[in-house]
A and B are shown apart, each in its own frame.
Chain A
Amino acid sequence: MSAPLNPPISQAIRAEARKREIAARRRSGRVALLFIAPALGLVALFLLFPVVFNLGLSFTRWQRFSGLDEFGGLMNYQRLFMVPYFSDVVINTAMWVIGAITLPLAFGLGLALLLRGVPGEGLFKSLFFLPRVLAPAAVGTIWFYVYAPDGVINSLAGAAVGQDIDYGWLFESHTITPAIIMTFVWQTLGINMVLLLLGMAAIPRDPIEAAHVDGASSWQIFRHIVWPLLLPTVFVVTILNVIAGFTAFDLIWVMANGYPAQRSLSLAVYMYYETFSNSRWAFGAAIAVMLSALVILVSWALTVMQSRVEERIR
């Protein structure tokens, strides 16, 4: 007996099949639309509309009481580069982004590695995570006094070196931004640690044991096995940190008491400052557009990298 032949499928059958597929897809598409319609409506009303409105605003001359109906072209965007302390804003924002990417990640990873399997792990995890649940404004207020000339840090440092220290961490132009960033790190490293621990928990145990048998030291296992497999999580954490770094606002607002000489301004604070304190609505909108564009660009680049890395280890 010969093997079964492929029976011919007629054009009519093929056409009908296509029709049925499309109908089925449409049906499920309509149902899906029905379910997401409320969410879509809310997003359109509270997110898309304001974004488009803001974009439009950035091309007007609106400031203080008037100018909403005057077209200003790219005036507001050009103005940004004419601000005398714009370079400070850029440097501070860069410090924020770089600090926010690297420090919580590094400390979070270190803690995650240290805490794995330590007695009281759960307690430590909760402790390190705790700052995350505090409002940034509250954290800022607490740390303002930690950094105060007669605050905890100076007291400890003074006790260590045996003399009184009354350094004003938040009053010196070269320490204010790093000091606020460290507070941010204090608040963020917990969530970084938890996410990395989750990522590590998802790494299968076997390749690590295999590497152990293969003769790898703890460092080599981390470097060659754990780290590459953790990279997708690292990227996710990085994206969150980048966004947090670019949009850092509350802490600076609370801790940089009047941001002396604008030495602590980040782009996000600058945006608020120009919009609400100086009532330059259109200019503020332009800063918001620039900031969003930057955040989207960097996040997008990182997302692309993340999916590449994930692809590689799957």
Chain B
Amino acid sequence: MRVSTLLASAAITAAGWTAASAQDVTFYYDKSGWDEGFAALIEGASEASGLDIAGQQQTPTDRYQAYIMSSIAGGATPAIFTWWNGKQLDSLVETGEIADLTALWDEAIEAGWFSEAERELFSVDGTPYAIPLNVARWPVLYNKDAFEAAGIEQPPQSWDELIAAADALKEAGYVPFNAPAVGGWMGFIWFSELMIRTDPDAFVGLTDGSVPYDGPEVQRAMEIWTDFYERGYFTDAREQDETRFMVNEEAAMYLIGEWTAGILANRGMEPGEQIGAFLLPPIDAETENSVIVEAAPIVFSADAMEEMPALMDAARYLMSPEAGNALGAANGIYSGNLMTDAPNAIVSDVNAIIAEDAPRSIVRWWEAVPPELQGDLVSQMNAFMLDPTEENAQRVMDDMQALNESYWAFQ
């Protein structure tokens, strides 16, 4: 039984290899649900480069990472694959297997496709090693009907207005914020948001070990978080359907990546009509305005790039407004290219806000934190959401710092 399973999987792997080797290049990715978009990107990249590029999806994410990591450790770096930015990109680039894309970025910025801000998201020590698959900002999505019902005329511009809006929504029978903790990763959302709204630099410091998880900066964020729970601003963290309270209009606001607009649209809430977006205001007027940005990079093998110079044409295409529009049309995903059309009203709203306020882009905690700490720390944050008391907040901070300390001690 077990042996036959192993044999079968070996056979499938072998078949996979032969199928892949018939192509010039294989493009690996783990993003599920974007099949149409990837098909369009791969077709376009093949045309632009004249190479025969095949897509290969692998899920779930941990198996995908294991596959990529062992391929690289075994000296067979895939030619094109999606990865994560931040610390994940740092350690990938450390292997020396990833192609330097400085020339391509120079071109792209020249052409007005991207700005320096995006380039920074995909750079390690100032050198860009990746191109964007997509870029997603993290605004608050809000139910326009709920705001109207609560008599809120426009999205809050200051912390006081936010609190007033939340109280008004509560008064009108809404839970102000939808805050799920599904899938083991969502715990960091409010933690990081409250950190950047109180002290963006301290937030960055958390991710490089220079700021402790139990220091005054974190204490303050945790206090606000606990206070919000006490005030009844959040939905039950035990709910497993992450958009349920938004869709059934029990909750009015949802702090999440802008890609969620597509999910809500699928469930009948039209972006722009029922759903709007705003950035959470800083808590203190003097705090720097910022926005969390999640960016998914595509990277190229340095060796493959050298062997097949045409691969650079594929990369150029993948950065282009055409590629961005193809992904947007297929899956409603925003590539980050400034010359693409916004795939939906939320993206254009966020584009407009960013153009006006020019907030500082901050890499999402998930990517910014060392990967070895990700799971351990986020599960502590999840634990806080399930028991949002002052004592538990203290315990969570202590435990996070213990984990953090032992990690950095090992480096």
Contact = CB atoms under 8 A, between A and B. Distances in A.
A148 B383 contact: no
B367 to A, nearest CB: 15
B96 to A, nearest CB: 10
Interface stretch (B197-205, B209-217, B358-366, B370-378): B370-378
A82 B409 CA distance: 11
A84 B379 CA distance: 14
B238 A171 contact: yes
Contacts of A278: 371-372, 374-376
Interface string B180-205: 01111101000000000000000000
Interface stretch (B223-231, B323-331, B398-406): B398-406
Interface residues of A, number: 33
Given A46-B6, A262-B376, A82 B406 contact: yes
B103 interface: no
Contacts of B23: none
Nearest to A75: B410
A149 B241 CA distance: 13
B355 interface: no
Nearest to A68: B73
A292 B185 CA distance: 30
Contacts of A64: 69, 91, 371
Interface stretch (B60-68, B253-261, B334-342): B60-68
B3 interface: yes
A82 B405 CA distance: 11
A257 B240 contact: yes
Given A84-B402, A279-B371, A260 B379 contact: yes
Given A46-B6, A84-B399, A260-B383, A66 B371 contact: no
Interface of B: 2-3, 6, 62-63, 65-66, 69, 72-73, 91-92, 94-95, 181-185, 187, 236-238, 240, 371-372, 374-376, 378-380, 382-383, 386-387, 396, 399, 402-403, 406
13 contacts: A46-B6, A65-B69, A65-B73, A65-B91, A173-B383, A258-B183, A258-B382, A260-B181, A260-B379, A260-B380, A276-B63, A277-B374, A278-B371
Interface of A: 42, 46, 62-66, 68, 82-85, 144, 148-149, 168, 171-173, 257-263, 273, 275-280
